[in-house]
Amino acid sequence: METIARLHIDTFELTLRDIKQVDPKLLHALSVSVGWPHRDSDWQMLLELGQGLAAVDEIGRVVGTVMWLRYGADFALICMLITLPRLQEQGAGSWLMEKAHELNKGAVFGLNATREAKRLYRSLGYGYEQKILRCQGEATPEAALSAKVEGLVRPAAASDHESLLRLDLAATGHDRSIAYQALLPVSRGQVLVRNDEIVAFSLCRPFGRGHVIGPVIAASEDDAIAVSRAHVETHAGSFLRADTPASNTVFTNFLVGSGMQIYDSATSMGLGRAPFKPLASAGPRRITLASQAIG
């Protein structure tokens, strides 16, 4: 197995390897050690989508990771930065970030920071902060607020996929087709059709402790609610999650009214510029993330 770099910390000697060359079970064990809910299949999707590095100790344990997903030629979304709790605050996280930056020279960087990691990213120059609320809980559709919406909501079909990609590009400013290639086969979708055109959609897939509603792309929060309600109904009584920018107050109220309380928050950050930017200010935007890792 090829060694990419080495670092001595305390009694550890860390060797950096291509993340795809280490046992995925060890990656899962690392994310469990910091309390993250990812399943093996969540890791699997990320490994198919992106690249990354694993820091391995002398006896083969994975003690740190960082990944990145390339959206288009010049944008890298950093994710899955984790270091083993025993190893933290000794420079391993910064070292992994430095290597990820080096391996993506020339790219614009974005990420979603946990509370723990925000200061570290700020010290690396990240800014353009946007608060993201993690809402989760047992889905309760009967409590969902009713909103009037113009148009027809129906399940997404394979023939809609091009429209979904077009809306996503308008909402994020990036060609995220690689993410959709992984998301679409494992998701159920709803679309809102108005004047024969798809104007909003939502996807929902198994993730972590249950299912996640994301991405939801819409130009208004009412449209976003219209395409999300069916997922709440489908998963009534089971665990559902959605990550939404805090500025979406109406949508957040819908989530809370549907059993998904605000559990935690993260911060979307960019290095040198905002990571995601709608092409038009009144056009489609991200109402929920696919996940914190995928954006």
Residues of this chain that bind ligand COA (CB under 6 A): 34, 81-83, 87-94, 113-114, 116-117, 119-120, 123
Smallest gap from residue 275 Cβ to ligand COA (A)? 13
> Phi and psi (nearest 5°) for 13?
-115, 115
In the complex, the smallest distance separating the C-beta of residue 243 from ligand COA, rounded to whole angstroms, is 13
Give the span between the Cα atoms of 242 and 43, in whole angstroms: 18
Name which of 95 and 201 has its Cβ closer to ligand COA.
Answer: 95
Task: For residue 37, say if its preceding peptide bond is cis, omega within 30 degrees of 0.
Answer: no
**Residues 265, 243: contact at Cβ < 8 Å?**
no
Q: How far is the CB of 10 from ligand COA (least distance, A)?
A: 9
Residue 120 or 147 with smaller CB distance to ligand COA: 120
In the bound state with ligand COA, the residue whose beta carbon lies nearer, of 31 and 187, is: 31
Nearer to ligand COA, 68 or 201 (CB): 68
Distance CA 286, CA 246 (A): 12
Cβ 242 vs Cβ 218: under 8 Å: no
How far is residue 38's CA from residue 91's CA, in Å, rounded to a whole number?
25
CB of 295 to ligand COA, least distance (A): 12
Residue nearest to ligand COA (CB): 93
Cβ-based neighbour number of residue 272 at 10 Å: 12
Angle at which helix 24-33 crosses helix 40-49, to 10 degrees, equals 120
**Minimum distance between the CB of residue 185 and ligand COA, rounded to whole angstroms?**
26
Q: Which is nearer to ligand COA, 88 or 177 (CB)?
A: 88
